[in-house]
Structures are given as C-alpha cells and as structure tokens.
C-alpha cells in the first residue's frame, strides 16, 4: 500500500475549510434575515435552501453541471467574460462542498436565531444601539451554540462530499482527488488496502468532530444550568 501521496487529505481539508467559511458567513446572513422577517414566498425560499439535503448527491451534481457546464448559463458567462472554466477544476470541488453543506449551516443558524426572545434585541434598539452592535453583542453570542453546531456539521459534510464532486469536478489526481473520491477509485482499481486506509481516516475525522460537538454541547448546557441556579 502506497500512502506517500497524501494529497487527498490536504485537498479535503483545504476545500472543506474554505467551503465551511463560505457557508458559515452566508448561512448566518440569510438565516438572520429570514428568521427576523416575514415576506411572501418565505417557505418556498427556505425549501430551496434545504433541497440539497434531501436530494441524491448525483442530482445535485447534475444541477451544478447543468449550470456550470460549457453550455450552462453560468458556465458560458464565466467562459465568455473571464475565459474561465469551473468544471474539472479545484473550484468545482469547493462549489460542490458549499452547495451540499449549506443546508446544515442554514438550518442550525435559523434555529439558533429563533431560540431566544427577540425583545432582547428590541430593547437594545430602543436604547440607541445600532443593528451592527446589537448583532455582535447580543444576537451572535446568544446564537453561538447553534452556530457552532452548524459550523462543525457543515465541515464534516463538506469533508465527506462525493456525488456532486464527482459529477462536477471529476477525478484528477492532485487536483480534485478528495478522500471520498480516492476511496471510490481505490476500490475500482482493486486496491482495497488503500481504500481501507482512507476510510479509517475519514471515519476518524467525522467521529472526532461529532464526539467533540456532543462534548461541547453538554459542557455548555451544564454551564448554562449552573448559572441559572
């Protein structure tokens, strides 16, 4: 078994990290806006946000390929405007990871912003605090446990993304070969030992992330209970 090439590990960490940062920021912004506002079509918009969570990854990948392919709307736009192609590139891996992990971040953020009384924020507004200050001093700290849960789950989901990545990015060694793709093609080539190595790695990473999140949640709940006594 040759494990000297650890590019799948570094690529997975890099793309999952970037994707998590993107979905963390966008998830908070959208969840915050939607949680505090009522408008026509709100339920439909939320359903669209959550759709990648229930669709097969290959369907998500097909949709991305339809958008970013050479004949797709975004694909043509990028090619004609910037002479840039997304398909079969490292950027395709990030886009796939963002799309499939976003629902987890959005769902966690929306629940986090709805779990506390909005009158706390309104009281701060009446005292002259700006929206920016209220967000960073009240909203964000109160919602942080839920936001952190979404952050960890989104990272784990981005790290394990396979179907959409294969459809949009393909398998190019040292370019798009994330751990899930490395496992699949190791099995296809009959290298079960290498596949087992990568399976152990990604299972360990996912298990560690969930274990830490459970520990942190229980620890945070104990602190909250102690403060209320």
Phi and psi angles of residue 179, each rounded to the nearest 5 degrees, phi first: -60, -50
Distance CA 63, CA 195 (A): 29
- pLDDT higher than 80, residue 229: no
* C-alpha–C-alpha distance, residues 195 and 2, integer Å: 11
Say which CATH topology domain 7-228 has. Answer: MetI-like fold (1.10.3720)
Those residues whose C-beta lies under 8 Å from the C-beta of residue 196, and which sit 6 or more positions away, are none
Domains in the chain: boundaries:
7-228
For residue 163, is pLDDT > 90? yes
pLDDT of residue 225: 58
Percent of the chain with pLDDT over 70: 94
Determine the pLDDT at residue 8: 93
Q: What is the pLDDT of residues 169-222, one digit of tens each?
A: 999 988 999 999 999 999 999 999 999 999 999 999 999 999 998 888 887 766
Which one has a higher pLDDT value, 226 or 120? 120
Q: Tell the burial category of 104 from Cβ atoms under 10 Å away from its Cβ (0-12, 13-18, 19+).
A: buried
DSSP summary character for residue 122:
H
pLDDT in tens, 47-91: 999 999 999 999 999 999 999 998 899 999 999 999 999 999 999
Would the pLDDT of 129 be above 80? yes
Residue 92 is encoded by which pair of tokens? 């395709």
pLDDT of residue 2: 57
CA distance 96 to 68: 11
Which of 10-14, 15-19, 36-40, 109-113 is least confident?
A: 36-40
Residue 216, Cβ neighbours under 10 Å: how many?
A: 14
Q: What is the pLDDT averaged over residues 115-142?
A: 87
* Residue 228 confidence class, pLDDT cut points 50, 70, 90: low
Q: In the prediction, which pLDDT does 127 show?
A: 87
């Amino acid at each position: 078994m040759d494990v000297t090439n650890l590019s799948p590990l570094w690529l997975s960490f890099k793309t999952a990290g970037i994707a998590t940062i993107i979905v963390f920021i966008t998830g908070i912004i959208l969840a915050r806006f939607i949680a505090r506002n009522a408008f026509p079509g709100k339920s439909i918009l939320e359903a669209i946000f959550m759709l990648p969570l229930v669709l097969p990854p290959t369907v998500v990948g097909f949709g991305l390929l339809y958008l970013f392919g050479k004949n797709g709307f975004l694909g043509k736009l990028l090619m004609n405007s910037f002479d840039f192609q997304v398909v079969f590139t490292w950027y395709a891996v990030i886009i796939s990871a963002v799309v499939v992990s976003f629902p987890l971040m959005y769902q966690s953020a929306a629940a986090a912003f709805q779990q506390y009384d909005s009158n706390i924020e309104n009281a701060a507004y009446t005292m002259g605090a700006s929206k920016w200050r209220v967000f960073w001093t009240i909203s964000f700290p109160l919602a942080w446990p839920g936001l952190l849960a979404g952050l960890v789950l989104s990272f784990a989901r981005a790290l394990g993304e396979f179907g959409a990545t294969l459809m949009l990015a393909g398998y190019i060694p040292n370019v798009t070969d994330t751990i899930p793709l490395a496992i699949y093609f190791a099995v296809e080539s009959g290298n079960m030992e290498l596949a087992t190595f990568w399976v152990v790695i990604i299972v360990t990473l996912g298990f560690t992330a969930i274990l830490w999140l459970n520990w942190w949640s229980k620890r945070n709940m104990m602190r909250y209970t102690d403060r209320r006594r």
